């Protein structure tokens, strides 16, 4: 009926070559997969686990190439369909003023570094730095 149910969302992001990079928030990742935690959602999105809870391993070629899950003050969790995983803490800031736009600032920092061919870990750190700068200022 046009609703974005977890099944409909998974259909949109899964399948051979469907999505190369997905950068949801933790809430979005859990909504897409129907899972309770970012860690569980990551495994489903990259193709390492079944979304239906059957416990069966999914074919990795059906997963998203690289998933970066933004978790706010808890940093980011990322993984790729080849089995690599990353966890990067959020940068410490002296005072959070406004978190609106922090996710977009993360995306910009990550994409700037990753698109230049640097490693995922460096791109994640750049994204976290961008988010930290944005959170210290008012307005998106």
Determine the Cα–Cα distance for residues 26 and 68; give it in Å rounded to an integer.
Answer: 9
Is there a catalytic annotation at residue 98? no
d(CA 130, CA 91): 9
CA–CA separation, 44 vs 33, rounded Å? 7
Helix (H) or strand (E) holding 87: strand 85-88
Planar angle of CA 129, 112, 128, nearest 5 degrees: 20
Length of the chain: 140
What is the crossing angle of helices 26-33 and 6-13, to 10°? Answer: 100
The active-site residue, picked from 52, 80, 98, 104, is: 104
User: DSSP state, 36?
Assistant: S
Active site members: 104
């Amino acid at each position: 009926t046009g609703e974005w149910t977890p099944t409909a969302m998974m259909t949109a992001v899964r399948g051979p070559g469907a999505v190369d990079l997905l950068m949801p928030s933790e809430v979005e990742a859990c909504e897409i997969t129907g899972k309770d935690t970012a860690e569980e959602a990551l495994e489903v999105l990259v193709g390492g686990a079944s979304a239906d809870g059957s416990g069966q391993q999914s074919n990795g070629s059906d997963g998203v190439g690289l998933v970066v899950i933004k978790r706010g003050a808890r940093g980011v969790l990322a993984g790729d369909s080849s089995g690599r995983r990353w966890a990067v803490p959020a940068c410490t800031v002296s005072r959070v003023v406004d978190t609106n736009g922090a996710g977009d600032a993360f995306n910009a920092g990550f994409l700037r570094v990753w698109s230049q061919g640097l490693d995922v870990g460096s791109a994640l750190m750049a994204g976290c730095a961008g988010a930290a700068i944005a959170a210290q200022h008012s307005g998106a």
